[in-house]
Structure 1
């Protein structure tokens, strides 16, 4: 690590044409031996790979795009002249992947750079910091090492999920490597976690503040996720091992956590103390700010007028895949139709409204966008210019009825035929306050792992071995908080729980959280099932993305995934 203050050098370059002396003069220099002179600087170095992680998982669109677009859950349709973007989002929806697809570059770069930063940080800390001499609490060095290993694991796991086997490094000083196989990558991740988990800190107080630290439960959850998807990633079933870890996490073996009775606490403005969150990206107004990475691309251009006037630029892109045909009938596909899968009495299924004092209700931007509290209106400025926008659970050129189309029967409904009000929008990660309470904007942390996921993983493991009643009980423990008095009109039962209901439950609980593709791949549904404007290819190569051509050209030892 070596950085120099070189303003004088820049000035010399500018003045060289005038014949001035161009030799650089360094007014100060920071080297490893001088930088690590305080605990604060040591912690600053330790957190560097975490700043990349927060960008990668909570700010950068491509990773979210790779997990959500091309699934039955989300889409980014072409809206008139908006969002065609060279056809890239239509390609994603139809699984027409190529090695030039822009999202794929950041998909690889994001995880690979994260790994490199983890190892680079550890090398600096291990070489230049005397933890005992500087008065660090005993075990700090070991905890830092364990957290960096676990963070590297989270990056490697994403690489395995998206691309299959990847090059495996434990240092920044080795030669460039070729890709390892998927089983080798899996085993490498497994071994790192088993060493790291016992050295991770334990959350001993229920509701203690989360600050991005990788606690022991987060490490155990990462290992559970690895085993949960082992069959899809390597062809080896590890569901029993996943179930054991999930039971132990739920039972408190790895720290104190609990399901939250109020779902808004999980995503709300003070969610750093939510007992359900196992790992999250910290965010705070005017400090480390993030909105989860999709607000600006999701919401209508004028949504801020409906939300209470806060300055929140939006570009009217993403939406849920539609449930309804242009005539209003429900599509017959088993998968998808996300908005219709929420029960009408589900308290999340109401228009989002900020109700003051850091509270809100509803999870969707849907229906006629007139704020019931302050009368704020979202007006159209494309097909419905000047009119109050009504968000519909449909995608079609309704504004062209009577001109280009004589009836709704003739309206096409495709990824290429959306209007400005097409598709329901999500307000889940990083809800928006009104202008009056703008000081809490960006205060919600972004949950990455939460206890509900552990319940659902265990439920699916039980389902896979035929214990449907136990699986239903686990899912219903989570579902009950969404209905007044716990009166769920459609609880999961042993009779109605199958592959499709399980996939529906994953979608309902984790919609928009950047995981849908992984769930579909695990169930063999990503390439075998139809959904809105998407016909199954039955081509298993699509379960792994091609590696971007720029990545391939940077390392001639890398080989493209088969078939791409």
Structure 2
């Protein structure tokens, strides 16, 4: 059932780079650069091409190639074996169990390839535009050339950041006209990324108040990427740069790079008209019937018949991803007590970590006119407007027509009236999922009912949002000794999720420790493709256990990095493998 999207969209930019631009698909034939650039539109077409790789490999977060490793290898989301569905020879579970191998098929292969392809696309566009476009003759305003080229260079920096985070030092290229390179060191790769961002930042367009995010690279985008680079400097280079990160975050909060602010609700961030939310700093643009990007990949997550509950036959799905379970086979909560698979566990249990009164911790319900509530699918799913429930189709564990609950467990729980279904007893674990195992997440790209289906895919897919700046600043303050300010910054975000701002469990200088910070990152950014990075930064990725995942243990720190694919080394013998991998 493995589905790998390989389609490539060719995009065009339709508005001035200095005023902001949007990325829309346009198909055109290949021509020589020397005779192609005879209009501004064609220059924008070429400028847009590297955004193709970015949008293709980013938009399907968390299942996209730039985010999937951070998701499947962590304590956040899981692709369990569902009686053979989604097992695929252990492909998905190898990520969860940290069975990374350069010779084994895994998303580390696809991520490395996506990074390499995207970098090549970007430098090709820079070369074509730099060498073949006469900006003055085509009537471009002053500054367009520098802005256009540096937006692409920020894309290059972003692609290298993905590589640095996943693999460490990367082969560094500034052109497609050079011979194959060996891998640079981690520090050299870090400094290369930093240099690209610092050079580009002052030349980029600055978002104006009320502007919609359309996918272009702004000063806010580059500043946020620079802050993220400094924020994770210790695992990248061994040097802490929290002071530098805090300085950039403070400048962003003060509006130096554009008017960004916290949104008032999660619907404003992820809803059907989210493009003008002041929280969004970079998005993959999406539009119904034109450029449809399914952020959150609900087709890989929700139960086969969830479309019945959603009242939308177009929302068919394949029943894969779910939240890591909070409860054991007997209903014990792993956060509180030891369960069937050990514990209690401080990590994982994402659904339990949302407060009961959190407005997000409701079942997703579309209420019409682009309005919805909740972002989970848990328990019995009966649409309050239609009365229709999600039922079994009879092809898996439950009889046809049975109303089935989505349970916060991954275990063998289906009815067994004859006592023959489980001859070896009921079992729990990532290998023993069933069709209703696991709570499902419906956060990105909310789904309307059939009557309003023209709204589907209209939400932009957030890549960077202001809350990330707020949380980075909070963690930097905490690490630098200012715990009260750190708690206040966290609470400014949390209060929007409770009626009247009545947070039952606010952060305080006393309760804000490393695990509370990891919990805050988890519940705020669940499904946004960053979890593994946070665990590595806090030195928990290989040292801590979570549900059905014992700690990797001493001597396994090398698993903080993924292996360089054997296919990449075969293609470029100058590449060296990461330590710990054969």
> What's the CA shift string for 1:22-56, capped at 9, x where partnerless?
xxxxxx98322322111111101101010110011
TM-fit CA distance, 1:450: 0.4
TM-fit CA distance, 1:115: 1.2
1:135 & 1:62 partners in 2: Cα distance?
A: 38
Matched residue, 1:556: 573
2:440 & 2:376 partners in 1: Cα distance?
A: 6
Alignment of 1:396 onto 2:414: no
TM-fit CA distance, 1:96: 0.9
2:296 & 2:499 partners in 1: Cα distance?
A: 31
> What's the CA shift string for 1:472-517, capped at 9, x where partnerless?
1001101110000000000111111000000000000000000000
1:471 & 1:508 partners in 2: Cα distance?
A: 17
Q: Is the 8 A contact 1:63 1:103 kept in 2?
A: no
> What's the CA shift string for 1:332-368, capped at 9, x where partnerless?
1001100000001000000001111111100001110
> What's the CA shift string for 1:243-294, capped at 9, x where partnerless?
1100110110111111111210100111111110000000000111111252
TM-fit CA distance, 1:402: 6.1
Matched residue, 2:38: 37
Matched residue, 2:339: none
Matched residue, 2:207: 203
Secondary structure in 2 matching 1:61: coil
**For the aligned residues, what is the CA RMSD?**
1.6
1:455 & 1:274 partners in 2: Cα distance?
A: 16
Structure with greater proportional helix content: 1
2:496 & 2:199 partners in 1: Cα distance?
A: 37
> What's the CA shift string for 1:494-543, capped at 9, x where partnerless?
11100000000000000000000000000000000100000011210100
Q: Is the 8 A contact 2:242 2:480 kept in 1?
A: no
Identify the match of residue 475 of structure 1 among 490, 498, 501.
Answer: 490
Task: Classify 1:378/1:467 alpha carbon distance in 2 versus 1 (closer, same or farther; 3 Å).
Answer: same
2:198 & 2:108 partners in 1: Cα distance?
A: 30
Q: Is the 8 A contact 1:61 1:293 kept in 2?
A: no
Secondary structure in 2 matching 1:533: coil
Q: Which moved more, 1:154-163 or 1:285-294?
A: 285-294
1:61 & 1:237 partners in 2: Cα distance?
A: 29
The alignment's TM-score, normalised by the length of structure 2, stands at 0.90
Matched residue, 1:93: 96
Matched residue, 2:316: 313
Higher gyration radius (CA): 1
Identify the match of residue 79 of structure 1 among 78, 82, 85.
Answer: 82
The alignment's TM-score, normalised by the length of structure 1, stands at 0.93
TM-fit CA distance, 1:406: 11
Matched residue, 1:445: 460
Matched residue, 1:226: 229
Secondary structure in 1 matching 2:91: helix
1:246 & 1:291 partners in 2: Cα distance?
A: 30
1:535 & 1:551 partners in 2: Cα distance?
A: 30
Count of residues paired in the alignment: 535
Matched residue, 1:187: 191
> What's the CA shift string for 1:451-480, capped at 9, x where partnerless?
000000001111112211110100110111
Matched residue, 1:384: 398
> What's the CA shift string for 1:185-208, capped at 9, x where partnerless?
001111111101011111121x31
Matched residue, 1:24: none
Secondary structure in 2 matching 1:241: helix
TM-fit CA distance, 1:376: 2.3
User: Within 5 A, what are the aligned runs for 1:52-451?
Assistant: 52-59=53-60, 61-99=64-102, 100-205=104-209, 207-292=210-295, 294-331=297-334, 332-381=344-393, 382-385=396-399, 386-399=401-414, 411-451=426-466
Q: Is the 8 A contact 2:66 2:162 kept in 1?
A: no
Matched residue, 1:458: 473
Q: Is the 8 A contact 2:296 2:443 kept in 1?
A: no
Matched residue, 2:559: 542
Q: Is the 8 A contact 1:112 1:156 kept in 2?
A: no
> What's the CA shift string for 1:221-240, capped at 9, x where partnerless?
00000000000111011111
